[in-house]
Structure 1
């Protein structure tokens, strides 16, 4: 189901202008929420991040009330089959170059969609040769400029995996194309700090918060503490890898570069804990 410009739309209706800056130069931001029983999970946190991403790009602040109303409309229309909610917010019609119209001339585009989602309790990953630039102007922002993720994920799918894992420019483990990464080593779950260039994932954020409340050993690491080479330890069975994201939730990696692996015990506890918390509170 699709909502745009104040109402529900058919799948074949035109929605945006051919000169929308989100299409011409990727000038937009987005959020994806899991949906449980017609309710988007952690919507308040997702909207907070959408505002941060929009501000980081220099877009006008999104109208939260409008987004909530649009989300309610598409989820009601979609019915019980909805598994994800997608919110896309772009700069709207603009010049063909990278510069924008003056603020008073901007007309941002908002599109909200609901559709099915397949959740996997385990993941299969591969390493790829490309890196995240932790010094990029859009590092940490969830923008619609996803072409490098498309390329990396296509490589993963070609190799029989469902996610690609990337380093950053200084050789630290960073993130997946659509997930944060967690390494289980020596009885701890370790995740790269946001300074690595990774996205401030909502699932990652909740994993850190809920694990602290439950007394589980989960923490961010400092620079250099999780080099990309830690994946060699994962392949050797001395460490374990887990992915987390809005649709995956907490998903242990059971294969890396085609090598079958086991999930770590702390990762499995974190997975169970997260699912219990999700069931208790849908907008934490």
Structure 2
């Protein structure tokens, strides 16, 4: 197999799209959704990708050669590039603490690498004692965090920002909308004081409760536990096939 030069975050030193998928005992979660997103992005960006049979065979080989009880399967695709890894993943067991990033950040509807800018946002948040940061667009609408979609409980309704606000169409976000009753609407930063509870939604954390946004403490109660249970019940691992 051709050796691929990797950056400090484990991505190929080139550009392309990628999917990060949580695995449980070698079975990926929401594999079909991830691959549909990758195919759609590749078509829109003009990136040629290998056949489905090849990708599945490489997944099976990689999962077999690198077994983990809980894992992170990462697939990188670019022009004349295919790179796949499976590493151990340590699950988050504590609620997240978020702050606000002070500048407008333009999001992408495609999950692309290099990913250095997003890791830089995480590091900046970590330097201030937080796990991640809430981002907003030029309309002062909430978008996402550096690495996750967001869901807020406002006036007894779970809501998440629309793709048009400038966010990645996350796989778990789609599950929350289609299966768990989360509504889509713009969320202005002025509404943050009205947020009762919140989640970070992503393929690895699935649904991680948020305990604080800045100094504001959020509730993690029955409504949060119910939504988390729903999302996780619709995010079960499946066989590669």
Taking structure 2 as the reference length, the TM-score comes to 0.88
Determine if the alignment matches structure 1 residue 282 to structure 2 residue 224. Answer: no
Determine if the alignment matches structure 1 residue 169 to structure 2 residue 138. Answer: yes
**Match for residue 179 of structure 2?**
210
Task: For residue 275 of structure 1, report the CA deviation from its aligned partner.
Answer: 2.1
**After superposition, what is the alpha-carbon deviation per residue over 1:47-92, rounded to whole angstroms, capped at 9, x for unaligned?**
111112222322114422222111111111112345110001122x
Unaligned regions of 5+ residues in structure 2, if any?
none
- From 101, 114, 129, give the equivalent of 2:102: 129
**Match for residue 194 of structure 2?**
233
**Match for residue 223 of structure 2?**
266
Task: For residue 163 of structure 1, report the CA deviation from its aligned partner.
Answer: 1.5
Structure 1 residues 79 and 145, CA gap change in structure 2 (3 angstroms): closer
**Match for residue 13 of structure 2?**
23
Determine if the alignment matches structure 1 residue 154 to structure 2 residue 123. Answer: yes
**Match for residue 183 of structure 2?**
219
Structure 1 residues 17 and 189, CA gap change in structure 2 (3 angstroms): closer
**Match for residue 60 of structure 1?**
48
- From 214, 217, 229, give the equivalent of 1:257: 214
- From 75, 78, 81, give the equivalent of 1:90: 78
Larger radius of gyration: 1
**Match for residue 67 of structure 2?**
79
**Match for residue 82 of structure 2?**
110
Do the aligned partners of 2:211 and 2:220 also contact (CA within 8 Å) in 1? yes
Distance 2:50 2:103 in 1: 32
**After superposition, what is the alpha-carbon deviation per residue over 1:215-252, rounded to whole angstroms, capped at 9, x for unaligned?**
xxx2111xxx4102322334xxxx22211001111111
Distance 1:64 1:127 in 2: 40
Number of equivalent positions: 234
SS state at 2:144 partner: strand
Distance 1:47 1:28 in 2: 15
The Cα RMSD (Å) is 2.2
Taking structure 1 as the reference length, the TM-score comes to 0.75
Structure 1 residues 17 and 202, CA gap change in structure 2 (3 angstroms): closer
